[in-house]
A and B are shown apart, each in its own frame.
Chain A
Amino acid sequence: EVQLVQSGGGLVQPGRSLRLSCTASGFTLDDCVIHWVRQAPGKGLEWVLNFNWKRGTLDSVDSVKGRFTISRDNSRKSMYLQMNRLRPEDTALYYCARGSSSNYFDMDVWGQGTTVTVSS
């Protein structure tokens, strides 16, 4: 079954770091673009960033530039969203999602989401 399983998240103080993971099943990350999308409590969807494994390129929203980065493990099944210098406004439910093969901005598989709370 093609799916994305997420883990990580939790409560963290402002200015600290947190790492979220996103593990693929039924496909490998080499073949696709992975997006991270967040949803603040009671709010709409906000795209955070995407990473294209083939091109090695990362695009992100301005508010996370220089703070959020991507890495992956050698199995090519898991990727990690490293979030540094976290702010209260980063508090949200974070989803990873796969960009489809026909148009990578179409997100055809989503993880279950993981919650990040930034508070002192």
Chain B
Amino acid sequence: SYELTQPPSVSVSPGQTASITCSGDKLGPRYVSWYQQKPGQSPVLVIYQDTNRPSQIPERFSGSKSGNTATLTIRGTQAMDEADYYCQTWDSNSACVFGTGTKVTVL
């Protein structure tokens, strides 16, 4: 089965930049989305189709992709950004796949 690999955790100081990677075999041609999940809450879509941001998501969130690695970047990280983040794509059988998840801690 298709797998997406993320670092288990990322730590960042307030106001600094956090980068979360997501790697998968032949990820390049596939769209990648990113979700934020705070404790006790439902996930929220923060990036879709690699680089697009829903209108209600702050501009400090951005997405990019190079080769088989997608990256979610949070610039000027705030305490409210502390959450779990999941990347997501789909495989050749039209099955959705989520990444392993990354816990972002704002120190």
Q: Which residues of A contact B (CB under 8 A)?
A: 35, 37, 44-47, 50, 59-61, 95, 97, 100, 102-103, 105-108, 110-113
Contacts and interface: CB of A to CB of B under 8 A. Distances in A.
B61 interface: no
A45 B37 CA distance: 10
A92 to B, nearest CB: 13
A103 B31 CA distance: 9
B42 A95 contact: yes
Interface of B: 31, 33, 35, 37, 42-45, 48-49, 54, 84, 86, 88-90, 93-101
Contacts, number: 62
Contacts of B44: 110
Nearest to B1: A62
Interface of B is mostly: strand
Query: Which applies to chain A's interface (DSSP): helix, strand, loop or mixed?
Result: strand
B90 A45 contact: no
B35 A112 contact: no
A35 B94 CA distance: 12
Contact of A105 (B43, B54, B90): B90
Given A45-B35, A105-B31, A108-B54, 13 more contacts: A37-B43, A37-B98, A45-B88, A47-B96, A50-B96, A60-B95, A95-B42, A95-B43, A105-B33, A106-B49, A107-B33, A107-B43, A110-B44
A46 to B, nearest CB: 7
Contact of A112 (B42, B49, B97, B101): B42
B99 to A, nearest CB: 8
B98 A45 contact: yes
Contact of A107 (B35, B84, B97, B99): B35
